[in-house]
Amino acid sequence: MKKIAIYGKGGIGKSTTVSNVSAAMAAMGLKVLQIGCDPKADSTRNLTGGENIPTVLDTLREQSDATLEELVVESSTGVLCVEAGGPVPGVGCAGRGIITAFEKLEELDAYTIYRPDVVLYDVLGDVVCGGFAMPIRGGYADEVCIVTSGEMMSLYAATNISHAVKSFGKRGYASLRGLILNAKNFAGEQELVDKAAAEIGAPVLYRLPRDPAVQQAEAQGKTVVEAFPDSEMAGHYTALAKLLLEEDAKA
């Protein structure tokens, strides 16, 4: 079972990237479990027809004895979808919510029962507190990738995430695989990302171009891989998926 945590600043296109990679891996015949670790609970929307699925935390608030079938939704593409969710607005801690969701999935033997080939954690990277760092430090993920653009705040978040990964990496937890550029297509962007990657000490694994097919697919509540499987952009997501499935040369 390959376990990858994908981090990034909110709004950078991280969930779009993760859901397309999940769909691409599923199209290869792999069983994929995607776990959204963001209070907005929108990681899997493009896999589930544009609809939000019930979150682990919302379900547990209504019934503490929820079953695995009530927490995991299989999409039309075959991807197993989970949304951790968040606390009631103004009350509680989002990071703690992620920990609760993870513990519940373990308690219900989700990984043993579903036996996924790949687990993708889609994690908000604006704040790398204890809860949001759970995939790194809890032994849930083997490696971490960071989605970024060349914008300053996106690169700032990427730097913070890399520091957290390296800090925990010294204790034998997840390692930093590299950056995934989700391009905004402004002048000098590639150079800015290359410079940041050099400072972080991680490679730029893949460069995703800006493509209107992404918005067109999302308008249908789908991934590009599902809506436009023969498109150039679907080819990019498939290439990225294959790259992530390879063994990390540094491991």
List residues with catalytic annotation: 9, 14, 40, 126
Strands 118-124 and 143-148: unpaired
Q: Are 208 and 183 in contact (CB under 8 A)?
A: yes
C-alpha distance from residue 51 to each of 142, 144, 184, 189, 242 (Å): 30, 27, 26, 33, 27
Sheet holding 73-74, edge to edge: 73-74, 80-83, 32-37, 118-124, 2-8, 143-148, 175-182, 204-208
Residue listed under structure tokens 């609760």:
100
Question: With b meaning 16 or more CB within 10 Å and e meaning fewer, what string describes 214-228?
Answer: beebbeeebbbbbbb
